[in-house]
Amino acid sequence: MSAEKSGKTTTVEAMLGLLSGGPLSGYEIKKRIGESIGNFWSESFGQIYPTLKRMVAEGLAKVEDDQGTGGRERKRYRLTDAGRNRLGEWLTLPAMDQVPRNELLLKLFFGNRAERDDMKKLVETKKAELSADLKRFEAIEARIAATYAGHPGLPYWLMTVRYGKAEAVGLIAWCDDCLGTFKEML
C-alpha cells in the first residue's frame, strides 16, 4: 500500500536472508557475511547501516535495543512478518545475472599487443589462484558437512560451495588448455 520506490537493490534481500536466521546487529551482519556468503557476496558498512535504517522505515525489520558483550552499544534487527514475506517472494523470483566484467579475459583478448610470456604468466597466476580456491572450497565443504549434518539448510549451503568447486575445476582445465596453446605459439 505504501509507495514503493525500491529499485532492484539485492542488498536488502541479502540482509533479509541473513536476518531470517535470527536478529543481528549491523556489525554482526558484516561478520556473518564473511563467514558464510563471503565467497559470492559482499557488503560494506557504508551499505549495511543505511540499509538497516531503510528496512526499519519500510517495516521489513524492527530494532531490538540490546547491550552487547559489555555495556557496548548494539542494535539488533529482527525481521517482521513483512520482511519474511518479502524474502519469500524474492526467493522465488528468477535470479538475474549481469554480465560480469572479467579483467583477465579483457587482457587476454588484447594479448597480441603484448609479450606472449606476460600473457602466459597471467594464466599461470590465475591457475594458482583457482587451485587455492578449490582447496579452500573442499575444506569448507568437509567442515560444514560435518558440522551441520542433518540441518535443513545444509543441502543448500553445500550447493553454493560446490558451485565454487565446479567453476574452479572447469577453469583450471581452461588454464591448462591455454598453457598448451602458449606452448604451440612458440
Partner DNA sequence: TAGCACATGTAATAAGTTACATGATTTT
Partner DNA sequence: AAAATCATGTAACTTATTACATGTGCTA
Q: Residue 41 in contact with residue 33, Cβ under 8 Å? A: yes
According to the binding rule CB under 7 A, does residue 126 interact with DNA?
no
CB atoms within 10 A of CB 65: 8
Segment 7 to 26, residues that bind DNA, using CB under 7 A: 7-11, 25-26
31 binds, among DNA, a copy of itself, none (CB under 5 to 8 A by kind): DNA
According to the binding rule CB under 7 A, does residue 28 interact with DNA?
yes
Q: Residue 18 in contact with residue 24, Cβ under 8 Å? A: yes
From the CB of 131, what's the least distance to a copy of itself, in Å?
15
- x-marked contacts with a copy of itself along 135-154 as a string, rule CB under 8 A: -----------------xx-
69 binds, among DNA, a copy of itself, none (CB under 5 to 8 A by kind): DNA
166: CB partners within 8 A, 6+ apart: none
177: CB partners within 8 A, 6+ apart: none
Q: Residue 74 in contact with residue 29, Cβ under 8 Å? A: no
- x-marked contacts with a copy of itself along 84-123 as a string, rule CB under 8 A: ---xx-xxx-xxxx-xxxxxxxxxxxxxxxxx--xx--x-
According to the binding rule CB under 7 A, does residue 36 interact with DNA?
no
* # binding residues, a copy of itself (CB under 8 A): 66
CB atoms within 10 A of CB 41: 14
183 binds, among DNA, a copy of itself, none (CB under 5 to 8 A by kind): none
Nearer to a copy of itself, 52 or 144 (CB): 144
The residue type of 25 is S
Residue of 119, 117, 98, 99 whose CA lies nearest to 107: 119
From the CB of 28, what's the least distance to DNA, in Å?
6
From the CB of 14, what's the least distance to DNA, in Å?
9
Cα dihedral 165, 169, 174, 176 in deg (nearest 10): 140
Residues found near DNA in the complex (CB under 7 A): 5, 7-11, 25-28, 31, 42-47, 49-50, 52-53, 68-76, 101
